[in-house]
A and B are shown apart, each in its own frame.
Chain A
Amino acid sequence: MIQLKNLYKWVNTGGTKTFLLKDINLTINAGEFVSVMGPSGSGKSTLLNVIGMLDNFDEGEYLFMDKQVKDLKEKQRSELYKAHIGFVFQAYHLIDELTVYENIETPLLYQNMKATERKAIVSDALDRFNIVGKKDLYPGQLSGGQQQLVGIARALIAKPRLLLADEPTGNLNSKQGEEIMDLFKKINKEDKVTIIQVTHSEKNAEYGSRVINLLDGRIEK
């Protein structure tokens, strides 16, 4: 599903290149649950952003579902991730002005889906994540765990093939964290969604099928 070959990313600071990602070679197959680990500043989030096409890279190849990402235009790229990728963030990133229901519905709006269809899908999701009772609340009225649950429901609403999670449990206590990780595992197993998560915690990393360690922008072998 994802192939990275000799991928580099750098920024220029005062004439010298600082490498954020260095010679990354990575293949992730459909259905995998990969955890990316490493100390702060090792390039975990950058790698996730590159995979999620939110950020560019400077050199190398990136094949997403056999398409050269570098050759795609902005618009095609956005079409691609709109259809296939869901994001979950450490800080939840829910839209404060929208209710739970509306937050979950938003990705569908951008896919120009009919209102009745949207309603059915969102109701399903609310059901599935057990948050029907909270659908009219605003993010500010929920606990962190509940907010992240909404975040995950929103990430999955458009039925993506790949879920990218940047420290999804970083702001949660351990019990909430466990629940979220269990949920990830279930999604991976039952829905066959490929998951790549960035995490600091060994324990969370073990939920995945494979661990990738990053240090100073390189994959540690």
Chain B
Amino acid sequence: MFKNYCKIAWRNLWNHKVSTIINLACLATGMACCILIIIHITDELSYNKFNTRYHDIYRIDWVKNNDGQITNAATTPISIGSSAIAEIPQLKELARLYQRSGAFETNDPVKNKPAQKKFQEQNVFFSDNDLFSIFSISFIQGNPLTALRAPNSVVITDETAKKYFGDTDPLGKFLYYDNKALLQVNGVVKKLPANSDLQFDFLISFETLFSVESPEISDFLKSNWTFNPVYTYCVVNPQNRGPVELLLNKVLKTHGDERTRKMNQVYLQPLKNVHLYSADIEGNPSTASINYLYMFGAIAFLILMIANVNFINLATAMAGTRSREIGLRKVLGADKRQLMAQFLGETLLLTVIALIISLLLTHVGLPLLNQLTNKQIIFQSWFNPKNITAFLCLFCFTGLVAGTYPAFFITRFKTVSALKGRSGETNNKNRLRKTLLVTQFTISIVLIIGAITIYQQLEYMRNKPLGFQKEQMLTVPIFGSGASSIGFGVDGAMRQRMNAFTNELIKHSRIKSVTAASAVPGQLYIQGLVIPQGFSEKDNIFVPWISVDYNFISTFGIPLVAGRDFSKKTGSDHLSAFIINESAVKAFGWKNPEHAIGKNIIRGDAANGKKGQVIGVVKDHHFNTLDQAMPSLIMDVSVPRFSQFAISIQPDHVPQTISFVKQKWNEFFPERIFEYSFLDQDISALYRSNENFSKITSYFAFVAIVLCCLGLFSLSSFLTLQRTREIGIRKVLGAGVRRILILLSADFLKLVLLSLLIASPLAWFLTHKWLQNYVYRVDVSWWVFLLAGALALAFSGLTVVLQSLGAALANPIKSLKTE
């Protein structure tokens, strides 16, 4: 029996090649989209779960209440960790992680040979030894209990070991860190899996941090309760979470200074929330959000539905041509159940083939997915029990959804009329088909409108004038990329070398200007305490603060609206001059920019802060991403904070200019690694996740509309076939080709128009809601709806008209001869 079903199913599929191919293409594409998204979702859900203490690991998060404006951060001050472990008995294990990039070189202190390998490294953390008992980090060499106990010890990953030491035994070898500390390799661990939010290449014992940073900064780090540079992980029994949180806040209140008591709080963030529920937390290692997963899941589901609807429509339309067979089988003794089994069997066979094709498609599509999501998922590694289950569910779901209705529909035919070749198609049936078609097109149109709007927003952000020059701007980090943002690294000697370097550079004809700063637009500006005239320290005003060289404002082309630029000539600008932006003028309650000139400002606390006056006001410019408003800004000239050069160059012969800069760099800073990047590229990289999101929606919108049209294509071809006789009669009665085309297409096109009507408000609502995420955004414009409608109409119209043309042109004698 089963064999017989398979045989018939196979022959039926074979005999209707075109519709089989279309059905397969639709189902396989739908399933491939689903599989890809399932891969993505299961991967996202698997994050951090490899840790055996997954449910007990918490991160201490930091709450900043800046005048009612609450920010949560993933990092805390250093002090809280040390106090907490000492004073809270429920806390047995706690590890702080302080990220500090720097150059590493292989170095043998005994032979004192010149470095053989030297690289700038980003994934460098100063860490407490407890990290190894909190996270499941497996040691290849060394002892997890003591590896980071001794100062100046370093633990590296197997990959890093290979990079620096090749095949030789790394244990006990030395690495020279950032021209500052000689570290001994005390352990080699396996690199953490890709689905870990904690990622590192080097771990250095935490105490070493204080010998690397200058004594001044070390004291600041040890005692400060506002600056929050470290991730603090600890193990807490989930039942103790509440009490421990209370105790942590108590520690904060007892030890913290007055400002901390007033402004800050801490809470425990479970590790299981770090990957998908913490994207809006400052400094969180993951920007993924569960909402995006829901959205992808919904899109996958919708695409699969579109494919299924195609199948249902086509199967029921084809039922007419198979009604004779069905009637006959009934006469020969088949009961409904057996017929249902036969038709479901056909669907399942089709689904199996579609599934195999979709796996091939998945194999092809995976690199694209990896590119869009910045992952390295390998196809083979994807076969695990969980995914296989998901994939079987998908298969059953598709087969059942696609097969059940047609099977019911077909087996309901009345035997006698079915034998005469009539399918007993009623209006009822047509209504269902129309509903399904409208649903399909509504989904596609919503996706098209969504994709266009997202693209528009992205283009808008890319092209919006930011208020400063970002093109042909080369940035060169002084202490390596990713260097600590608290700075104070430039001493007098360094400043002299920097000046010499600058003077040498501007001699080059294609270098327009060279400046230095603590940060450039697009990077995170540190928030500094500011006491403007008329306020007191108790007001706790924190404002983004950068320190710049004298020619920074002119190099970046930021317009001055009042007062003057920094100038070397006055001789005191580096001691007592501030420039603020228009927003700051407003925030400080001063009437207008002119009014602000000469006002007193203290940058820092009242006792030790830098006291000075406002000498100028610049126009507001976007140093943040465009999803945020333009906040206040304060600039001063504070050389020790400088962390990078910004070099404005001519647009021609860029490679030569860069190699010139590099050559000079090596001359003046032989101990440092030359790195550079282009500011405009850095800024557009900030929008990469938006860009990927935009790409993903466009791909899916495209797939959706193609699937819809494929479905429409096969459906209209069948309906046209069914109406061959009617068309023949109409032609004999004198209908022209045009009228017949209109007759055949009008029904479909009306449905597409109806879909547009339904989709428009829906799409408007969704895109409007999404755009609320951006402070600077495009308006949803009416022409997008028109365009989406026109696209859908054009695609579907073309499909239907091409189909109908054959029928309209055919000789009526032929079509009337049938029967």
Which residues in A have some Cβ–Cβ distance to B below 8 Å? Answer: 49, 52, 54-55, 75, 78, 81-82, 87, 89, 93, 95-98, 102, 105-107, 109-112, 154, 158
User: B419: CB under 8 A from chain A?
Assistant: yes
Of the four ranges (under 10, 10 to 19, 20 to 34, 35 or more), the interface on chain B belongs to 20 to 34
Contact digits for B329-343, partner A, Cβ 8 Å, 1 yes 0 no: 111111100100000
Contact B416 A55 (CB under 8 A): yes
Contact A106 B416 (CB under 8 A): no
Chain A residue contacts of B329, Cβ below 8 A: 95, 106, 110
Interface contact tally, CB-CB below 8 A: 50
Separation of A180 and B520 alpha carbons in the complex (Å): 98
User: B11: CB under 8 A from chain A?
Assistant: yes
Separation of A52 and B331 alpha carbons in the complex (Å): 9
Separation of A81 and B331 alpha carbons in the complex (Å): 8
Q: Known A93-B328, A109-B4, A110-B338; judge A81-B333 contact (CB<8 A).
A: yes
Chain A residue contacts of B371, Cβ below 8 A: none
Contact A98 B335 (CB under 8 A): no
Contact B331 A95 (CB under 8 A): no
Chain B residue contacts of A98, Cβ below 8 A: 8, 11
Q: Known A93-B419, A97-B8, A98-B8; judge A111-B333 contact (CB<8 A).
A: yes
Contact digits for B413-443, partner A, Cβ 8 Å, 1 yes 0 no: 0011001000000000000000000000000
Chain B residue contacts of A89, Cβ below 8 A: 419
Contact A110 B416 (CB under 8 A): no
Contact A110 B12 (CB under 8 A): no
Contact A154 B332 (CB under 8 A): yes
Contact B331 A97 (CB under 8 A): no
A137 to chain B, nearest CB (A): 14
Closest to B337 in A: A75
In the complex, chain B residues 319-360 whose Cβ is within 8 Å of any chain A Cβ = 324-325, 328-335, 338
Separation of A154 and B325 alpha carbons in the complex (Å): 15
Separation of A54 and B330 alpha carbons in the complex (Å): 9
Q: Known A49-B416, A97-B15; judge A107-B8 contact (CB<8 A).
A: no
User: B1: CB under 8 A from chain A?
Assistant: yes
Contact B1 A109 (CB under 8 A): yes
Greatest chain A CB density within 10 A among B12, B324, B332 is at: B332
Contact B416 A82 (CB under 8 A): no
A113 to chain B, nearest CB (A): 10
B44 to chain A, nearest CB (A): 47
Q: Known A97-B12, A109-B4; judge A158-B328 contact (CB<8 A).
A: no
B82 to chain A, nearest CB (A): 79
Contact A78 B11 (CB under 8 A): no
Chain A residue contacts of B419, Cβ below 8 A: 54, 89, 93
B304 to chain A, nearest CB (A): 29
Q: Which of A49, A82, A96, A97 contacts B333 (CB 8 A)?
A: A82
Which residues in B have some Cβ–Cβ distance to A below 8 Å? Answer: 1, 4, 7-8, 11-12, 15, 324-325, 328-335, 338, 415-416, 419
Chain B residue contacts of A78, Cβ below 8 A: 330, 333, 335
Contact A54 B415 (CB under 8 A): yes
B400 to chain A, nearest CB (A): 24
Closest to A53 in B: B415
Greatest chain A CB density within 10 A among B7, B331, B416 is at: B331
Q: Known A109-B1, A109-B4, A110-B338; judge A95-B325 contact (CB<8 A).
A: yes
| 22 A/B residue pairs, CB under 8 Å, sorted by A | A52-B331, A54-B416, A78-B330, A78-B335, A81-B333, A82-B333, A89-B419, A93-B324, A93-B328, A95-B325, A95-B328, A97-B8, A97-B325, A105-B4, A107-B333, A109-B1, A110-B329, A110-B332, A110-B333, A110-B334, A111-B333, A158-B333
Closest to B335 in A: A78
B10 to chain A, nearest CB (A): 9
Closest to A75 in B: B335
A3 to chain B, nearest CB (A): 22
Other than the known A87-B331, A95-B325, A109-B1, what 13 A-B pairs have Cβ atoms closer than 8 Å?
A54-B416, A78-B335, A89-B419, A93-B331, A93-B419, A97-B11, A97-B12, A97-B15, A97-B325, A98-B8, A109-B4, A110-B333, A110-B334
Separation of A93 and B325 alpha carbons in the complex (Å): 8
Closest to B14 in A: A97
A98 to chain B, nearest CB (A): 7
Task: Report the 10 A-B pairs with minimum CB-CB distance, sorted nearest first.
Answer: A82-B333, A110-B333, A97-B11, A107-B332, A110-B334, A54-B415, A93-B328, A54-B416, A87-B331, A107-B333
Closest to A46 in B: B416
Q: Which of A54, A75, A112 contacts B331 (CB 8 A)?
A: A54
Chain B residue contacts of A49, Cβ below 8 A: 416
Chain A residue contacts of B415, Cβ below 8 A: 54
Contact B335 A110 (CB under 8 A): yes
Closest to A110 in B: B333
Chain A residue contacts of B15, Cβ below 8 A: 97
Chain A residue contacts of B7, Cβ below 8 A: 102
Chain A residue contacts of B332, Cβ below 8 A: 87, 106-107, 110, 154
Separation of A175 and B419 alpha carbons in the complex (Å): 27
Separation of A107 and B4 alpha carbons in the complex (Å): 12
B419 to chain A, nearest CB (A): 7
Chain A residue contacts of B1, Cβ below 8 A: 109, 112
Closest to A45 in B: B416
A218 to chain B, nearest CB (A): 21
Greatest chain A CB density within 10 A among B7, B330, B333, B415 is at: B333
Contact A102 B324 (CB under 8 A): no
Separation of A176 and B11 alpha carbons in the complex (Å): 31
Separation of A30 and B269 alpha carbons in the complex (Å): 87
Chain A residue contacts of B325, Cβ below 8 A: 95-97
A116 to chain B, nearest CB (A): 14
Chain B residue contacts of A107, Cβ below 8 A: 332-333
Chain A residue contacts of B333, Cβ below 8 A: 78, 81-82, 107, 110-111, 158
Closest to A82 in B: B333
A80 to chain B, nearest CB (A): 10
Separation of A87 and B4 alpha carbons in the complex (Å): 22
Separation of A95 and B338 alpha carbons in the complex (Å): 16
Contact B4 A102 (CB under 8 A): yes
B545 to chain A, nearest CB (A): 80
Separation of A12 and B771 alpha carbons in the complex (Å): 61
Closest to B11 in A: A97
B547 to chain A, nearest CB (A): 82
Chain A residue contacts of B331, Cβ below 8 A: 52, 54, 87, 93
Chain A residue contacts of B12, Cβ below 8 A: 97
Chain B residue contacts of A96, Cβ below 8 A: 325
Closest to A105 in B: B4
Separation of A55 and B329 alpha carbons in the complex (Å): 15
Separation of A110 and B175 alpha carbons in the complex (Å): 80
A151 to chain B, nearest CB (A): 10
A117 to chain B, nearest CB (A): 13
Closest to A166 in B: B419
Closest to A155 in B: B332
A90 to chain B, nearest CB (A): 11
Separation of A105 and B333 alpha carbons in the complex (Å): 12
Separation of A52 and B11 alpha carbons in the complex (Å): 30
Separation of A23 and B416 alpha carbons in the complex (Å): 22
Separation of A105 and B7 alpha carbons in the complex (Å): 13
Separation of A55 and B418 alpha carbons in the complex (Å): 12
B742 to chain A, nearest CB (A): 33
Separation of A48 and B334 alpha carbons in the complex (Å): 20
Closest to B418 in A: A54
Separation of A52 and B327 alpha carbons in the complex (Å): 13
A158 to chain B, nearest CB (A): 7
Chain B residue contacts of A106, Cβ below 8 A: 329, 332
B87 to chain A, nearest CB (A): 79
Separation of A102 and B11 alpha carbons in the complex (Å): 13
Closest to A107 in B: B332
Chain A residue contacts of B335, Cβ below 8 A: 75, 78, 110
Separation of A78 and B337 alpha carbons in the complex (Å): 12
Separation of A105 and B15 alpha carbons in the complex (Å): 21
Chain B residue contacts of A110, Cβ below 8 A: 329, 332-335, 338
Chain B residue contacts of A102, Cβ below 8 A: 4, 7
B540 to chain A, nearest CB (A): 82
